[in-house]
Amino acid sequence: MSVVCAALGAFAIASSGLAPSVVAADVQSRQWHLDAMDAEGMWKTSTGKGVKVAVLDTGVNPDTSSLKGQVLEGEVPRSVSHNAAKDYDGHGTTMAELIAGTGAGGGLQGLAPGAKIVPYRVLIKGVKNPTDRKKTPSFEDAILAAADSDAQIISMSIGGVGFDLDEVKAIKYAQSKGKLMFASTGNDAESKNLIDYPAAYPYVVGVAAADEKGNVTKFSEHGHDVDLAAPGLNLPVWCDATFRSYCDGGGGTSMSTAIASASAALIWSAHPDWTANQVLRSLIDTAGRTWPKGERSNYLGYGLARPRKVLENSSIDPGPANKDPLNFENSIGLEVAFPSDSPSPTPSTSAPSKAPKNPSGGGTSDASASSETSDNTVLWVALGAAGALAVIGGGAFAVVRSRRGA
């Protein structure tokens, strides 16, 4: 078990702590992100079929109407399978439904309903039963198991403070196995604003939360390790572990992480021969932003995930299969983690051919640096049944960004 798990009771789920209310019967009408991202249009090209997503969370209930037939609990190794299909909170089930829910029975509609979920219950604050805590796998054990599984994507809507070398090694191993990992940056921007681990680890894509207008939410932690952003406010969630009803007004980088993971699943399903590097690069290159391509924002990273822009372009160039699109940041993170054994460039972590424009590792845009949002917005155009609909602006200003050290 990691030092972090032992000392702090492990990670916490990355929900914002907003006060949700019980939602009306029509849950899917409140999933504004489906229209904003043109889910119906994307499903004509890809539903995520053939892609498996490992969800490391509070467990996943496979018996909700939206998840029946979607959860592959039998593929979880016995050594880390303790209560994987029992969700003590409702959080992990919500994330799984946002990724791959079918929407059956009026449940949450996943962005990638053709994908499948491989559930991992990890040690998170809230697991209070001593026997349960003892049997629940540590974060690094779950990562190692997921790395050896058939899941291509690892979604982690969890976070905690403190660096742990065993966790870094596990994540590095998962990267070597070709996994694409997403994690929530955290929801304490208005207090401590220290981006959570595992989002702050090398090879993990840190995901921030955006609202309906494409602006970063007030709670979404910002800074060194934000790589992408996705919808993460005013979405329905399961109220609790009784699974009797959904609650309205949920928010958090948890949701944005699940939706980013689903976005990757849509792309990988449409391009099964692509590598994790190519899937991620395509998301980065097509992200919605108001600043120049290749520069980053401390608030929205490379911008808002727009898988539609990848799926609608049959001739899109995903770049080299073996070149990490976050190589510069990840290399710095590895040097900090392994100072006596700095990694030499490899095909998947090759050094950039030229120095970055900014020695600090980032860039600035023309957007105002006096607030977290900007009036200068870029529109997403979702081509749905009603025709062209302008949705979600890409607010937030870009500031100098460098991968946070340990």
Active site residues: 57, 91, 254
DSSP, collapsed to helix, strand or coil, labels residue 176 as: helix
Q: What's the CA gap between 75 and 290, in Å, rounded?
A: 42
Residues 117 and 146 sit within 8 Å (Cβ to Cβ): no
Residues 117 and 60 sit within 8 Å (Cβ to Cβ): yes
Residues 247 and 236 sit within 8 Å (Cβ to Cβ): yes
Contact partners, residue 140, CB within 8 Å, separation at least 6: 2, 164, 166, 167, 169, 170
- Which DSSP string do the residues of 132-149 spell out, in sequence order? HHHHSPPHHHHHHHHHTS
DSSP, collapsed to helix, strand or coil, labels residue 330 as: helix
- Which DSSP string do the residues of 269-280 spell out, in sequence order? HH-TT--HHHHH
Helix (H) or strand (E) holding 308: helix 307-311
246-250 and 235-238: which strand pairing? antiparallel
Residues 267 and 247 sit within 8 Å (Cβ to Cβ): no
Q: What's the CA gap between 331 and 313, in Å, rounded?
A: 31
Exposed/middle/buried for residue 243 (C-beta within 10 Å: 0-12, 13-18, 19+): middle
- For residue 182, the one-letter residue type is F
